[in-house]
A and B are shown apart, each in its own frame.
Chain A
Amino acid sequence: MTALPPPSAVRLGLVIDLDTCVGCQACVISCKGWNTENYGAPLSDQDPYGAAPAGTFLNRVHSYEVQPPAAPAQIVHFPKSCLHCADAPCVTVCPTGASYKRAEDGIVLVNEDACIGCGLCAWACPYGAREMDAAAQVMKKCTLCVDRIYNAHLPEEDRVPACVRTCPSGARHFGDLGDPDSAVSRLVEARGGFDLMPEQATRPTNKYLPPRLRDHVEAPSVLAPYLTPVADTPKGFLGWLDRALGALPGGAE
C-alpha cells in the first residue's frame, strides 16, 4: 500500500556529522558492497572499466565549498542517501504499491517484484535518493540495511547500517530518532541538527549536524612581531641602485 502508515513511535534513521566527515567515500563503497550482495537486485555498473563508467549507488558523497562572509572558505563533504522521510512523497506517488513505508520503524523500502520501473518516485524525491538500476530496471534505494540491523546472525556490533559500521571518522550515527532520549536524538539536540530542504515539506528522519566554526586567529603568527622588517629604506649599494633605477624614465612610481 502506498498510503503512508500512521506515524510510528520508532523512527530509525541516520545522523550525519558534516563536521567530522572527511570525504573518504568508505561509506559509499561499503554500502555498494553490502547492498549488491544482499537485499534485492544487485547494484549494477555500466561500462565499469571503460571510458564512461556509471552505476547505481544508494549513497553518494558530494563536496561543497562554503564561503563565510568574513572567514576563509571551507570544504564540507556531504554524504547523501535516503532520508526516510515522515511525509515521503516517493511512497504516495507509486502506482503499484511497490514503494512503501514500514509502519513499525518508518523505513522506506521498495518491493522490487511489484516495481514497474516508471521512475515517478525518483521524480518525487527532492534529494536524489532513488536510482533506477539500468540492468534490473527496478528502483533501488537505501534500505537502512534492514537486513543487517535486525539480523540475529550478525555479531551485535555489526547490527547497524554498513555505512555507519565502516565510517572511520565517526561521522555517521544510527538510531531511533523517534525516541527523544536516544543517543542520536540527544546528538541532534546538542549540535543543532537540521533537515535538508525543509521547504519541500518531506519531514526527513535523517538529520545533518552543521560543521563547527573554524578557529579564527587574529594575528597571523606569534612570531610575526620578530619578523617585521627592520630597515624601511635600503642603504649602501642597494640604496644607490634603488635611486638610480628610480631616476630612469618610467622608474619613479
Chain B
Amino acid sequence: MHPAPSVIVFTTFSGLGFGLLFWLGLGWPGVTGLSAFAFFTIAYLLAVGGLLASTFHLGHPERAWRAFSQWRTSWLSREGCAAVAALLVMAAYGAGLVFAGQRILWLGWLGAALSIATVFTTAMIYSQLRTVPRWRHWSTPALFLTLSLGGGALLAGQTRFALPLLVLAGLLQAWAWHDGDSRLRRSGTTLATATGLGQIGAVRSFAPPHTGTNYLLREMVHVVGRRHARRLRVIALVLGFALPVVLLLLPFAHWLAALAVLSHLAGVLALRWLFFAEAEHVVGLYYGAHQGQA
C-alpha cells in the first residue's frame, strides 16, 4: 500500500495521544491543576493533531461530518465516533482536574475505556481488510494497542508500565514482521485464483491494461526493496523499543525521559511507514506484482 504521510502521522500521533489519555483517565499520574493542564494539552495536541492529519487524506474533507453516520457497519465510522466521544469525556474529566482539582473517578475510567477503544477501532480499519493478508490478523490490533499503551505510559512517566509494554510491543512487532512476510502466500490468493485460469495452467501477466500507471497501482501496489525494508526494521526496533527501554532503566532525568519519548516516536514512525509500504494488496496480483511470494 502507498505509505501516505497523512495516514502515518495520524496513526502514530493519535495512537500516542489516546494512549496518554488512557493513563490520565486511570489517574496515573494523579495530577491536578497546572501539571494536569500540561499533560492534557500534550495528549490533545497529539490526538487531535493526528485526527486532523487524517483529514488531509480525504478527497472531500468538508464532508467529513458524514463519517459519523455508519457506525453500525464501518470501522472507520466507529473510529470517528469513538474518537469524538473519548475527547469529549476526557475534556470534562480534565476540566475537573485542572480547574476544580477534583477527580471524577467514573468519568476518568469511561474516558480511558473510550480512548483505548478508539485505538482498537483504528487498528480494525486495517485488520478487517481481507484484501491485505498481512493486516488481516489478530496481531494488528494487538500491536496498535500495545504500542499505544506503551507509548502513552512513556509519555505519562509511568515507567513500571512503560517498560514491560515496550518490551512486549517490540517482541510482538518483530514476530509480526516475521509472520507477516508469508501471510499473502498462506492466504491462498494467487494470480491463478484471481483470474480463475489456474485450472488450465501456469498464469503469467502478459500485458497490463494500459501503458501508463493508474490509481490502483499508485495506491495499492507499492513494492519496497527487501534489503531496504530489513534495515528499516532494525532501525525501528532500536529507536522504538531498545533505546527507550535502556534510557528508562538509567537513573531518572528529565532530558533522558524526553530523549526516550523522541526515540520511541521516531521508531514508531518508521514501523508505521513499513506497516503501509510492506502491505501487499491482492489487486497487485492482477498486475503481476508479488509473484515471488505467491
Contacts and interface: CB of A to CB of B under 8 A. Distances in A.
Contacts of B287: 62
Interface string B27-64: 00000000000000000000000000000011111011
Interface stretch (B15-23, B101-109, B242-250, B278-286): B278-286
A93 B128 contact: yes
A17 to B, nearest CB: 13
A60 B210 contact: yes
A136 B63 CA distance: 14
Given A93-B74, A116-B66, A62 B207 contact: yes
A53 B212 CA distance: 6
B196 A196 contact: yes
Contacts of A89: 129-131
Nearest to B125: A120
A123 B130 CA distance: 10
B100 interface: no
Interface residues of A, number: 67
Interface stretch (B156-164, B177-185, B198-206): B198-206
A40 interface: no
Nearest to B205: A64
Interface string A52-89: 11111100111111111101011110101000000001
Interface centre among A28, A63, A200 (most CB of B within 10 A): A200
Given A64-B206, A66-B197, A95-B67, A126 B59 contact: no
A208 interface: yes
Contacts of B77: 95-96
Contacts of B76: 93-95, 118, 120
Interface in A104-152: 114-120, 122-128, 131-132, 134, 136-138
Contacts of B64: 116
A118 to B, nearest CB: 5
Contacts of A60: 209-210, 214
A126 B187 CA distance: 13
Given A64-B205, A123-B1, 9 more contacts: A55-B212, A65-B204, A68-B200, A97-B69, A118-B57, A122-B216, A122-B219, A125-B283, A211-B200
Interface of B: 1, 57-61, 63-64, 66-67, 69-70, 72-77, 80, 125, 128-132, 187-189, 191, 193-197, 199-210, 212-216, 219-220, 281-283, 286-287
